[in-house]
Amino acid sequence: MDSEALISLYGARGQERHGAWLRTHLDSDAAHFLFPDPADYSWPDLDAGRDLWECRVLLQMIDGEQVNGTLAVAPETFAALPSTVPRRRQRHLAYTARATERDSYIWGRDHKSDCSPETCGYVATEATSTS
Ligand SMILES: [Zn+2]
């Protein structure tokens, strides 16, 4: 899926700030992948108040590195997404994502010292930070 489609999913989950961060830091020319990858205990269970699918994302960042991440999406949202990847490739991607040790959080942490409006163009949406 393209980066805008992915970012809109973060927005739908109330993670607009993360979406804004991704908009600057994802390789917008690359394809990104999303697939359900729940731990055994976290398949949707309406009785337990869980109605989202735990998905794994495989992202390509602006420096070309592939990192993984997680995102919960509603099953109907996932079902509405076009499936663009043949099954064989899906398995390969799932394997790649699980084998990818770095995630977007670690990438962001390593990148932080280089991150400014001058370098990558990212402007933090909140002027003040408590950390
Ligand atoms: Zn940055």
Give the distance (Å) from ligand 1 centre to CA of residue 40: 35
Domain ranges of the chain: 3-114
Give the distance (Å) from ligand 1 centre to CA of residue 13: 22
Give the model confidence (pLDDT) of 16-33 as tens digits: 899 999 999 999 999 999
Give the distance (Å) from ligand 1 centre to CA of residue 110: 10
The DSSP line for the chain is --HHHHHHHHHHTT-HHHHHHHHHHB-TTS--EEEE---GGGS-BGGGTB--EEEEEEEEBTTS-EEEEEEEE-HHHHHHS---S-HHHHHHHHHHHHH---BHHHHHHHHGGG-STTTT----S-S----
Backbone angles phi, psi at 21, to 5 degrees: -65, -45
Give the model confidence (pLDDT) of 41-88 as tens digits: 556 666 666 678 889 999 999 999 999 999 989 888 888 888 888 989
